[in-house]
Structure 1
């Protein structure tokens, strides 16, 4: 199951980077990037990995996601630089969609590294205290804290000096409010995935028990 979770984590991560250029709104004052509806689900997946497979496995997943993002940025840049075919009319649109800008890219990578590793750290600390009990506490506490850090770091690095401080704080507050609600709602999903993973590991573990030869 760890391989599937890692694949899902990295896939959602890359998809969120692609969707980041689209903005949507609730009413007239809540504006969010489309990436947020995907990126928020990387945290419960990481929590499941930390819960079932441990801190080291979770840190490897974070590192894998970081390296994948770097490779994606490099290959997207190469694709943009390739000479367009004479009949290809969408080069400008292609560049617009896949070019996030240097500050936004750096903001995304820094926020990702800090917040995801913080999520693993907080979750693991609480697990050491509670054991297998109170999964909902460590899931929500780690996700809510790391999401706040992620949102604050990303928006500050990406937009500080570009927009008024009031608008910056509003952007942080609205995005975090959305992530806060999702963190609460995804708790049953975490319980379900943890249960599935533990059952799978129990089955594989029983199959791998060595036969004693006397």
Structure 2
């Protein structure tokens, strides 16, 4: 088994980032139930996990190519689907009579999402992340560019894909329930700002970490 693995090595960075990516797809929906304020901007906390998905997929695209990044995004549906199914099963199971009522109510509030919200999340995820990978790759051009262009590509691709994500999710989840104009604008602005403030630096850091991880693998193999 070890010999087979050695003959077909998986880059350590790809292995580590795939694990992180799968975890972020699951935790993003849970974090979204808390909102935090950055000055006048109010943002749902799930954006932090979602921006990490953008960072990881962009770093994988930069180092391993667009096709690999696309596969990472598509495989991300697997932990997402399993988590939704498992949450549904747990919600259907009868609660213990010893469980405090306030704890059960809090659990149900966080996890018992409406079918529209549960459907909107995966659709927005798939469209926006695949769009981010496509834009990030298209902006690469013929040359690799330096760190500054890497940061610019990350910011532009993230900002556009995050705006599309907001439009898809809020429209599918809440259209017809209440006026969504202010929510759309506020969330889009917040996500675009974070895309320019955080994402470029995180992508550069993720690429540097990946190169270090893969360098350690190469040195270990040569030893």
Query: Map of 1:127-206 to 2, 5 A cutoff?
Result: 127-133=140-146, 134-164=149-179, 168-186=180-198, 187-205=200-218
Q: Which runs of 5+ in 1 are unaligned?
A: 210-214
Contact (CA 8 Å) 2:42, 2:190: kept in 1 or not? Answer: no
Structure 2 residue aligned with 1:116: 129
Structure 2 residue aligned with 1:92: 105
The Cα offsets for residues 78-124 of structure 1, whole Å up to 9 and x where unpaired, read as: 01111212212333332221112111111111100000001111111
Post-superposition shift, 1:132?
4.1
SS at match of 1:37: helix
Q: Measured at CA, do residues 181 and 2 of structure 1 come closer, stay the same or move farther in structure 2, by a change above 3 Å? A: same
SS at match of 1:85: coil
Structure 2 CA distance, aligned partners of 1:206 and 1:4? 17
Structure 1 CA distance, aligned partners of 2:202 and 2:38? 25
SS at match of 1:148: helix
SS at match of 1:163: coil
Structure 1 CA distance, aligned partners of 2:122 and 2:151? 28
Contact (CA 8 Å) 1:21, 1:100: kept in 2 or not? Answer: no
Contact (CA 8 Å) 2:41, 2:190: kept in 1 or not? Answer: no
Structure 1 residue aligned with 2:79: 68
The Cα offsets for residues 110-143 of structure 1, whole Å up to 9 and x where unpaired, read as: 1000000011111111224332442122211211
Structure 2 residue aligned with 1:43: 54
Q: Measured at CA, do residues 192 and 106 of structure 1 come closer, stay the same or move farther in structure 2, by a change above 3 Å? A: same
SS at match of 2:43: strand
Q: Which runs of 5+ in 2 are unaligned?
A: 1-12
Post-superposition shift, 1:205?
4.3
SS at match of 1:130: coil
TM-score, length-scaled by structure 2: 0.82
User: What is the root-mean-square deviation in Å for CA atoms of aligned residues?
Assistant: 2.1
Contact (CA 8 Å) 2:166, 2:188: kept in 1 or not? Answer: yes
SS at match of 1:32: strand
